[in-house]
Amino acid sequence: MNSQLNWWDDKNKTQELAVSLRGNARSVLSDLSHEQRRNYHDFVTALVSCFEQELYRMEMKHHQCKQGESLNKLAQVVKRLTNKLYPVAPVGVREQLARDCFLDALNDPEVEWAVHQGKPKSMDDAAHLAL
């Protein structure tokens, strides 16, 4: 809104945004090239990407199977988050990460132990064993 009221162009918006950042948001600046720091679109994209990833990480870390949530639904959530967090990781790595996160999210020590004992190799194996 201020940008429209003040008739700011992208250069002005980039400068105002840069000086208003604090904490972790400000550290994003150091990861950008000189050209990216001067390009409003690149700057905003980098900020969104940084905090979007942090949001996915927090959701993955704290997601627990809720009462009434099916194990299939839990598996879908874990797969979606894993794919969002690690889009360029090899499929095998994503499968292992998803499997481990699924086990952590089960929220039932007996089921978790039974799945762990089955030594699942993938997310799908873990979900099958949990069922």
How far is Cα of residue 126 from the mean position of the Cα atoms in its chain? 21
* Alpha helices, H only, 63-90: 71-85
Q: What domain range is 21 assigned to?
A: 1-54
Residue ranges in the chain whose pLDDT is less than 70: 1-6
Together in a domain, 67 and 125: yes
Together in a domain, 49 and 89: no
Q: Tell which residue, 82, 86, 49, has the closest CA to residue 63.
A: 82
Give the per-residue pLDDT at 5: 55
Q: Which of 54, 72, 95 marks a domain boundary?
A: 54
Give the per-residue pLDDT at 11: 82
**Residue 112 contacts residue 118 (beta carbons within 8 Å):** no
Give Dmax over CA atoms of the chain in angstroms: 64
Give the per-residue pLDDT at 90: 92
Q: For 63, left (φ over 0), alpha (ψ -120 to 50), or beta? A: beta
Together in a domain, 79 and 121: yes
**Residue 127 contacts residue 67 (beta carbons within 8 Å):** no
How far is Cα of residue 82 from the mean position of the Cα atoms in its chain? 7
- Domain count of the chain? 2
- Report the SS3 class of residue 98: helix
Together in a domain, 6 and 69: no
Q: Tell which residue, 127, 129, 113, 119, has the closest CA to residue 78.
A: 127
Give the per-residue pLDDT at 63: 82
Q: Tokens representing 17?
A: 């945004």
Over the stretch 108-130, which tens digit does the pLDDT of each residue have? 888 889 998 999 988 889 989 98
Together in a domain, 78 and 130: yes
Q: Given the structure tokens 């009221």, which residue do they identify?
A: 5
Together in a domain, 128 and 71: yes
